[in-house]
A and B are shown apart, each in its own frame.
Chain A
Amino acid sequence: MFEVVAFYLFAALTIAMFTITVMTSQALYALTAMAAGMIFISAFFFMLGADFLGVVQIIVYTGAVMALYAFGMMFFDTTRTMVEKRENPRTIFILGVLAATLVVFIFISPIISTHLETQYPLEAASGNSQAIGMILFTKFLVPFEVAAVMLLVAMIAGIVLAGKKMDKSLTLMAEEEIALMGANEAKPDSQEGAH
């Protein structure tokens, strides 16, 4: 009984929140609604008994990803409403409906064709975090490591893009070039790229 009530409550809340995110023209509403929607999604994990994933959903999406969005939004005036430029509303509508239908088919097809089965059921005795750890480091080790490498690449790329003078490599330069660069830095008025 409780689970049914909770499911419909959180389903309605989640849909309402993401509807606000999509429909509103006020950036701050969209941000808040999306963060709230992410939290409401975690309720489904809790109802299914996947406590660990539920908490991770809150930490990763609401605590980190949305906070970083908010950080980006600090750079423009969020108290003003955005007026979007829509040149051809019909195209947007058709493309949107098509994309949504496609996503629904992608998610439904394995359920219809093979009748999804739980390959690694959680054992109540061992707890969620242990079970997830075991699966991650045995069955899904390669995707896990690939994801780690991709994150590392993204991090290095971010540092190179944001850092200053990261496009020059001191190890590939001759000694004279480095000395010249140091001399240029010492007097800031001198023209950049004289060497």
Chain B
Amino acid sequence: MDLAFIIETVVKIVVILLVFSALAGFGTYFERKILAFMQRRLGPMHVGPYGLLQVAADGIKLFTKEDIIPQNVVKPIFKLAPVITAATAFMAAAAIPFWPEFTVLGYTVHPIVSDINVGILYVMAVMAIGLYGPLLGGMASANKFSLISAARSAAVFISYEVITGLALLAPLMMVGSLSLIDINNYQSAGITHWIAWSQPVAFILFWIAAFAETGRTPFHLVANDHEIIDGFGTEYSGMRWGLFFIGEYANMFFISFVMALIFLGGYGDGSIAGALQLLLKVAFFFFFFLWTRAAWPDVRPDQLMWLCWKVLMPIAVLNVIVTGVVILIQTQGGM
């Protein structure tokens, strides 16, 4: 391993960390503005032009707040839980290509930290570990409502992982590779080759499951609104609580990237236009998260479980079987 490779990897990691922590902060700003416009309000307006510096104000507030560790909590685990949420969100970014490869001063840069050949599986695995943030936070908090919330969110995460996995299986069978770059190149011929057209069911299922995986409304069961508390985050304050938020928003961005790459053609042929299209697709998915929050109420936990196991899972299994049969017929016909 040469020095250039090490420097390049470290630079990539630092850039991704900085960009997406900043984006996570601005994500809260976008969310408040978009929700406000949809509800005929102005949203944050006072700090800076159009309230743009509200993010900085919130950051200063979170950093300078007293870090309260309540009595009776299991201290090390209580302190660790927010870090797990934020860390797993950023670890998932290691296998996501954010931009087609480009050349700067004769040096080709691959904007992906590590192109392992099980890329998408790795992303899903690390996002699955993100479950431990809410889970341990709730269990260590010595608060009954935190514990109930942790149980709820764990149930949602475990159930909807099944949907994500089964929905992904059908497109992966078509592509024949688990690397996100290969999946992108499979669709590089243009808009008619997007997997969303050949796998619409898988696309919708994955999209629904993405709401559960990131814990967004209408599946926002981690903090049940009629308990009037913040679920597993009830006992947290200051930056520890902020870390949960950074993790949540970073996850929203990363899952938007994954959806755009797998189903909507990603960055296409790798030109600048294609790369900008990728950013537009990601922005659309992110906007859709916020749009849904403004438009839909939360569903009840039992409805959520009913939807997962009795509706989405049978559809996902059928989708996999039908895809398999079609691929089999096509390959037989080709021979």
A 37-50 to B, binary, CB cutoff 8 A, 1 in contact else 0: 00100000000000
B77–A32 touching, CB < 8 Å: yes
The smallest beta-carbon distance between A124 and chain B, in angstroms, is: 10
- Chain A interface (Cβ < 8 Å from any Cβ of B): 2, 26, 28-29, 31-32, 35, 39, 51-52, 55-56, 58-59, 62-64, 67-68, 70-71, 73-74, 78-79, 127-129
- Residue in contact with A58 in the complex, picked from B73, B125, B136, B154, CB distance below 8 Å: B125
Instruction: Verify A28–B129 contact, CB threshold 8 A.
Output: no
Residues in B whose Cβ lies below 8 Å from that of A26: 74
Residues of B at the A interface (CB closer than 8 Å) are 1, 72-74, 76-77, 80, 116-118, 121-122, 124-126, 128-129, 131-132, 135-136, 139-140, 142, 147, 150-151, 154-155, 157-158, 161, 177-178
For the complex of A and B, the 5 pairs showing the least CB-CB separation, nearest first, are: A63-B128, A58-B125, A59-B125, A51-B118, A55-B121
A71–B129 touching, CB < 8 Å: no
Nearest Cβ distance between residue B23 and chain A, in whole angstroms?
Answer: 26
Q: How far is the CA of A70 from the CA of B129 in the complex (A)?
A: 13
| Contact partner, A28, options B122, B140, B161, Cβ 8 Å | B140
CB-based contact B118/A128 at 8 Å: yes
Closest Cβ neighbor of A126 among chain B residues: B117
Residue of B with least CB distance to A58: B125
B150 contact set on A, CB distance < 8 A: 74
A71's closest neighbor in chain B, by CB? B154
Instruction: Please state if A28 and B125 are interface contacts (CB–CB under 8 Å).
Output: no
Between A29, A55, A56, A62, the greatest number of chain B beta carbons within 10 A of the residue's beta carbon is seen for A55
Cβ-closest chain B residue relative to A60: B125
Measured between alpha carbons, how far is A56 from B125 in the docked complex, in Å?
8
Take A28-B136, A128-B117 as given contacts and tell me if A63 and B122 are in contact as well, using a CB distance cutoff of 8 Å: no
C-alpha gap A71/B135 in the complex (Å): 9
Find out whether the CB atom of A59 lies under 8 angstroms from the CB atom of B124. Answer: yes
Residue of A at shortest CB range from B179? A127
| Given A58-B126, A59-B128, A78-B118 contact (CB < 8 Å) | no
| B73 and A67 contact, CB distance less than 8 A | no
Given contacts A51-B117, A67-B135, contact A79 B126 (CB under 8 A): no
B151 and A55 form a contact (CB under 8 A): no
B118: A residues at CB distance < 8 A: 51-52, 55, 128-129
Q: Which residues of B contact A79 (CB under 8 A)?
A: 72-74, 139-140, 142
Q: Tell me how far the C-beta of B331 lies from the nearest C-beta in chain A, rounded to whole angstroms.
A: 15
| CB < 8 Å neighbour of B135 from A39, A55, A70 | A70
Give A127 to B135 CA distance when docked, in angstroms: 35
Which residue in chain B gives the minimum CB-CB distance to A81? B74
